[in-house]
Amino acid sequence: MSSIVEKTRRERLIEQLRMRKGLLFMLAIGMTWYAIFQFYPMTKIYWAFTNIGQVPPSQVSFVGLANFIKLFRVTQFRRSLWNTFYISFLKILIGFPVPIIFALLLNEMRISFLKRGIQTVIYVPHFLSWVVVGAIWYIMLAPANSPNAQIAEILGRKPIFWWASDRYIRGLLVATDIWRNAGYGTIVYLASIMSIDPALYEAAIMDGANRWQQTWHITLAGIRSVIVILFIIRIGKILNLFKQVFVLTTPIVRGPSDVLMTYAYRTGIQQMQIGYAMAVSVFKTVVGLALVLLTNWLAKKIKEEGVF
């Protein structure tokens, strides 16, 4: 009998595998997709260290860190790096608190049909594509024969072509980002407010806490870990800033709105400087990861739960 009980690890593994033949087959299908469309492209990371794209295919060779050194000598790269950080910084500074405030305000509402109505419409824009968001705001803000021109006329000013203005383009990117995503964030925070134990509020009322004190000490304290996690995720996305800028901007405003990934798109896809553009992507990935790990570490330092 003892031989059955004392199966070796290896035998147990084989038995588990045999029992799960069908499962392994499914796993194989799914992981094959990951291998081809995620990990195989990932291996191309070495392109960043070659001169592929700058020389004929037969002469491709390793050039060490030459592409990375070149990056920092190119003004367009430095500009796109600065723009990426600057626009993302504005988005976080202005956009990150908005859904938290919205959620707290919605949570204070007692008239349920108004609360539900606002909750319903507030995240409609989140499901619209950047193209549709852009189309709507290009039409609203057109320089002539538009609500924009109408308001300018009332104020007695010349209408501004906002989307073609170097001065306002970053502001528009921040504003449309908030317009599209603040409602979504609000619902996320509201969902986590709903999971706070109501007994905490009852106890606070017994102790004589007013509504403001309840909001501060129970509601905000209750969603603090969600705030921290979303903040870390947000930091990680800083350098991924791409689709919005790609869709909403035109070459007229490239100066203040060109970001790392739109720059990588131009050098990689349009000019086919593959090695160089790959260096831009690798730079983006490494710095992005470092930012996440740093924020995560900081969060743990101040005794918060991190993502990892």
DSSP bridge pairs for 62: 50
DSSP bridge pairs for 55: 52
**Window 287 to 306, contacts with other proteins (CB under 8 A):** 289, 292
State yes or no: residue 226 binds other proteins (CB under 8 A): yes
Q: Select 2 or 143, whichever has its Cβ closest to other proteins.
A: 143
Among 170, 278, 295, 296, binds other proteins (CB under 8 A): 278
DSSP bridge pairs for 50: 62
Among 130, 161, 168, 201, binds other proteins (CB under 8 A): 130
Among 65, 69, 93, 139, binds other proteins (CB under 8 A): 139
State yes or no: residue 124 binds other proteins (CB under 8 A): yes
Separation between Cα atoms, residue 83 and residue 283, nearest integer Å: 15
3-state secondary structure of 54: coil
Separation between Cα atoms, residue 153 and residue 143, nearest integer Å: 11
State yes or no: residue 183 binds other proteins (CB under 8 A): yes
Among 38, 76, 213, 271, binds other proteins (CB under 8 A): 38
Token pair 């021109």: residue = 149
Site string for other proteins, 76-105 (x = CB under 8 A): --------------------------x--x
- Closest distance to other proteins from the beta carbon of 66 (Å): 18
Among 69, 117, 271, 297, binds other proteins (CB under 8 A): 117
Question: Phi and psi (nearest 5°) for 55?
Answer: -130, 160
How many other C-beta atoms are found inside a 10 Å radius of the C-beta of residue 91? Answer: 22
Q: How many CA atoms lie within 13 A of 287 on its CB side?
A: 15
State yes or no: residue 108 binds other proteins (CB under 8 A): yes
Separation between Cα atoms, residue 183 and residue 124, nearest integer Å: 8
Separation between Cα atoms, residue 122 and residue 188, nearest integer Å: 12
Q: Select 7 or 243, whichever has its Cβ closest to other proteins.
A: 243
Among the listed ranges 37-45, 57-65, 70-78, 87-95, the one in contact with other proteins (CB under 8 A) is: 37-45
